Amino acid sequence: MTTHAGRNRFLLLAAVGLGVEALAALVFGVLEAAAISPVRAVMGIGVTVIMLGSGVLLALVARGVARARRWSRGLAVVTQLIVLLLGYSFRQPPTTWTGFVMAVVALTVLVSLLLPASTRAFLGEDATPAT
């Protein structure tokens, strides 16, 4: 399925999901940076750098997926498998809803990336079958 601009809707959905994850990582990184205390400065700086770096890289992968770049698909799939496992680890209260949201986003992105229409878009083939 393509939009009126000729873009694959499923890839756009996957890119939006990746963008949401990127934004969440960036926000968490900024919040962590604001909460750094002298007692745990090294830990706080480490988490901040990792989360900000993850957010930037996820945003780049989301951009690649939106543009149907081949290199972005593998990175997006691996990232979503990791997010799915993280969501599973959050299944116990009080983080049950966080884990559920993570799993739903990850599964949505995974399915969107692995659909035949998305595969055709990544391979650069025409989205409409020849008759």
- Check pLDDT > 90 for residue 6: no
The predicted pLDDT at position 64 comes to 98
Q: What is the C-alpha separation between 56 and 48, in angstroms, rounded?
A: 12
Q: Mean pLDDT, the chain, as a whole number?
A: 92
Say if CB 112 and CB 13 are below 8 A apart. yes
Q: State the alpha helices, DSSP H only, in the chain.
A: 9-34, 41-66, 70-89, 96-114, 116-123
What are 80-103's pLDDT values in tens digits?
999 999 999 999 999 999 999 999
Length of the chain: 131
What pTM was estimated for this model as a whole? 0.89
- Check pLDDT > 60 for residue 33: yes
